[in-house]
Amino acid sequence: MSEMPQDHRPLSRTRVLLAEDQGMMRGALALLLGMEPDIEVVAQVGRGDEIVDVALVSRPEVALLDIELPGRSGLDAAADLREEVPDCRVLILTTFGRPGYLRRAMEAGAAGFLVKDGPVEELASAIRQVLRGETVIDPALAAAALSAGPNPLSAREREALGAAVDGATIADIATRLHLSESTVRNYLSSAIGKTGTRNRMEAVREARQQGWL
């Protein structure tokens, strides 16, 4: 495991909240991080819509969030934490190293973004870095994000595509978003054009692949 800091001063343990929907992965990460001398996993959740409530009780200093979570995405939860628990630093840890996700994470106030294929020592080091006020980003992903450019979809276009994920009809989407059907068609048409696709389901797939949705 990681070495102790060189100054040998007594360490307080950094309080970490871990959000991961796969129970085995969550348990393994909690166990490995708990073996670090200066890190304590004080809370674990499997759903994105549990993160803020649990953080308000456990008061973590760092929240380690997956992106793909039931109930609410880790990116949305990161923005919620910025408002509700401003002293908590957010580190996004995900399988999906997509440039669009990185940009959205930074916009949500995340202090770091790492993919899951790294060693636990690297993750522990990242936790220490963000606690010190530093920003930690996977270098390859940072380069990809710069070359990919910004998300071309507006917030409303993302909402319309997001509501279309399950194959909902225009009428269903309009009801869900409290918009007229013609407005929904306009947003979807614009999103299809911006993604260079032929229909809304292709637009959904492309937006997800790029991390825009």
Span 180-199, pLDDT tens digits: 999 999 999 988 988 888 88
pLDDT value, residue 44: 97
CA distance 131 to 145: 24
CA dihedral 172, 173, 179, 184 (to 10 degrees): -120
Any idea how long the chain is?
213
CA distance 209 to 6: 42
Strand-pairing partners, residue 114, are 93
Task: Give pTM, 2 decimals.
Answer: 0.67
C-alpha angle 195-200-206 in degrees, rounded to nearest 5: 40
Strand order in the sheet with 39-45: 39-45, 14-19, 62-65, 89-94, 112-115, 136-137
Contact criterion met (CB below 8 Å) for 63 and 55: yes
Residues 6 or more apart in contact with residue 206 via CB below 8 angstroms: 195, 196, 197
pLDDT lower than 70: segments of the chain: 1-11, 96-97, 99, 140-149
pLDDT value, residue 4: 47
CA distance 3 to 184: 55
If we measure between CA atoms, which residue out of 123, 30, 131 comes closest to residue 90? 131
pLDDT value, residue 9: 45
